[in-house]
Amino acid sequence: MNFALDEQQLLLQRTAREWFEARGGPAAMRAMLDGAAAPDIGDALAAVGFLGVLVDEERGGSGLEVLDLAVVAEEAGRTLSTAPLIAAAWVASLLRSLDTEPASAALSEIASGTMSIAVVEEDGAPVIGALDATSFLAVGGGELVVGRRDICEIAGQPQMDPTRGLARVRVPGGKPMGHIAPEEVERARRVAEVALAAEDLGTAARCLEMAVDYAKQRVAFGRPIGSFQAIKHMCVEMFAAVEQLRSLVWYAAWCADHDLPQLPVAASAAKAYSAEAVELCASTSIQVHGGIGFTWEHDAHLYWRRAKVDRVLLGDSAHHHARVAELALARV
């Protein structure tokens, strides 16, 4: 089975990389840490089609697959983008299973950028993208309900990575979207996990690139530090982590559209490994950079911040390793 990207996906990858590099990047997170507002890229995101990757064409979306979403999300992760790709994909995966007019209208608004919805789960976990969302989609009891921001209870929290916009949200009322089957809720959650793992793949890959570039340029004792065995081992360990994560992410994304029975274990495997790989690469990149890697002026600590937050979002590695084991044992 060949999981290499096809020509259309490679074009999408190049387009996404150029788009995200031209808008924001680590400088946006640095500005937000200094008190600036998140950059307003919603209209541009909608215009290029990234918010509606999983929304069908009849509702104004791109009608693409989860693997296409993963390609875009990886490029967003490389630049620590504020783009709400995870929330948009999660909401689209939930709503597109409903055959109701409110759900159809909401999908159109998501694709057009006129509505930004974040998902609120029953367990009260921090909501991704809550600080910039205009509405919230509550999942629970087999029903989906959308509540406008002005009727919801939002409790902010300290932001190690302000680009994630985390907050705890309660939706006391709202507009019913319709009844949803448990398996559809499960699938949508797994798609969100794959999207997050894909972003972390991009983050980890960028940490590796920064470390290798610096190791080639920095000279110590008359030699580039990249010629020292200890630095080589660090970079090789990062490279191995990135490539293993890439295989897990692409396979999980493919399963979301072509092999649903395998999606739960594939998504949890990708999320478990992404939590470990992104933290490894972010921390090791700082070590390779040495003293400068610890400074506020260098971007390395911004990627470390993203890694520290993402490793626990939607379940940490221990949670997903346990889930993979449970699913595997259930098949014995």
Is residue 332 pLDDT above 80, yes or no?
Answer: no
> Is the same domain home to 150 and 206?
no
In a shared domain, residues 59 and 107: yes
Shared-domain flag, residues 158 and 270: no
The candidate with the shortest Cα–Cα distance to 62, out of 101, 14, 19, 110, is 110
| Residue 319 maps to a domain | yes
Helix (H, G, I), strand (E, B) or coil at 239: helix
Q: Which of 242, 188, 201 is nearest to 13 (CA)?
A: 201
Q: Quote the CA–CA distance of 307 and 309 in Å, as a whole number.
A: 5
The answer on 255 and 134 residing in a single domain is no
Q: Indicate if 174 and 56 belong to the same structural domain.
A: yes
Residues 141 and 23 in one domain: yes
| Among candidate residues 147, 181, 215, the one where a domain is terminated | 181
Average pLDDT of span 150-174 = 92
* pTM for this predicted structure: 0.95
- Tokens 């000279």 correspond to 219
When pLDDT is averaged across residues 248-262 and rounded to a whole number, the result is 96
DSSP for 62-124?
----HHHHHHHHHHHHHTT----HHHHHHHHHHHTT--SHHHHHHHHHHHHTS--EEEE-TT-
Residue 60 forms part of a structural domain = yes
Judge if 93 and 191 occupy the same domain.
no
Q: What is the reported pLDDT for 181? A: 93
Q: Same structural domain for residues 315 and 229?
A: yes
- Provide the mean pLDDT of the chain: 93
> Residue 87's closest CA among 175, 172, 199, 4?
199
Task: Give the C-alpha separation, 203 to 223, whole Å.
Answer: 29
- CATH number of the CATH domain containing 228: 1.20.140.10
pLDDT in tens, 64-109: 999 999 999 999 999 999 999 999 999 999 999 898 898 999 999 9
Q: Which residue has the tokens 């072509």?
A: 258
Sign, CA torsion 292/295/296/300: positive
Residue 331 tokens, joined: 């098949």
Among 151, 136, 49, CA closest to 94: 136
Show Cβ contacts of residue 172 under 8 Å, excluding neighbours closer than 6 positions.
Answer: 147, 151, 152, 153
Provide the 3-class DSSP secondary structure of residue 148.
Answer: strand
* CB-CB contact of 303 with 285 (8 Å): yes
- Whether 160 and 200 map to the same domain: the answer is no
Is residue 190 one of the residues assigned to a domain? yes
Query: Does a structural domain hold residue 2?
Result: no
What is d(CA 238, CA 235) in angstroms, rounded to the nearest whole number? 5
> What's the rounded mean pLDDT across residues 246-257?
96
pLDDT average, residue stretch 277-300: 93
> Which of 154, 181, 208 delimits the end of a domain?
181
pLDDT above 60: residue 208:
yes
Structural domain includes residue 150: yes
Residue 21 — φ and ψ, nearest 5°?
Answer: -65, -30
Give the N- to C-terminal CA distance of the chain in Å, as an integer: 25
State the average pLDDT over residues 236-262.
96
Co-location of 108 and 208 in the same domain? no
Taking the C-alpha atoms of residue 260 and residue 254, their distance in angstroms, rounded to an integer, is 9
- Identify whether 198 is part of a domain: yes
| C-beta atoms surrounding 173 within 10 Å | 10
pLDDT (mean) for 175-202 = 95
Same domain, 289 and 231: yes
Q: Measured on CA atoms in the order 230, 233, 239, 244, is the torsion positive or negative?
A: negative
Pairing of the two strands 143-148 and 175-179: antiparallel
For residue 93, give its domain range. Answer: 7-181
**pLDDT given at position 2:** 64
* Residue whose token pair is 């014995």: 332
Report pLDDT for 23.
85
- Average pLDDT of the segment spanning 108-129: 89
The per-residue pLDDT for 156 is 85
d(CA 88, CA 116): 8
Q: Is residue 194 part of a domain?
A: yes
Structural domains in the chain (count):
2
- pLDDT score for 1: 55
Calpha distance 215→145 (Å, rounded)? 51
> Is 70 exceeded by the pLDDT of residue 12?
yes
Q: Specify whether the CB–CB gap between 53 and 325 falls below 8 A.
A: no
pLDDT band at 293 (very low <50, low <70, confident <90, very high): confident
pLDDT at 123: 61
Best CA proximity match to 59, nearest among 6, 7, 112, 5: 112
The CATH number of whichever domain residue 45 belongs to comes to 1.10.540.10
In a domain, 174, yes or no: yes
Kindly state the helix (H) or strand (E) to which residue 168 belongs, with its residue range.
Answer: strand 167-170
* Residue 214 pLDDT exceeds 80: yes
Domain stop point among 156, 181, 206: 181
Average pLDDT of the residues in 296-319: 95
Average pLDDT, stretch 270-288?
97
How far apart are the C-alpha atoms of 19 and 22, rounded to whole Å? 5
Evaluate if residue 4 carries a pLDDT over 60: yes
What pLDDT score does 25 carry? 82
Q: Could you tell me if 83 and 34 lie in one domain?
A: yes
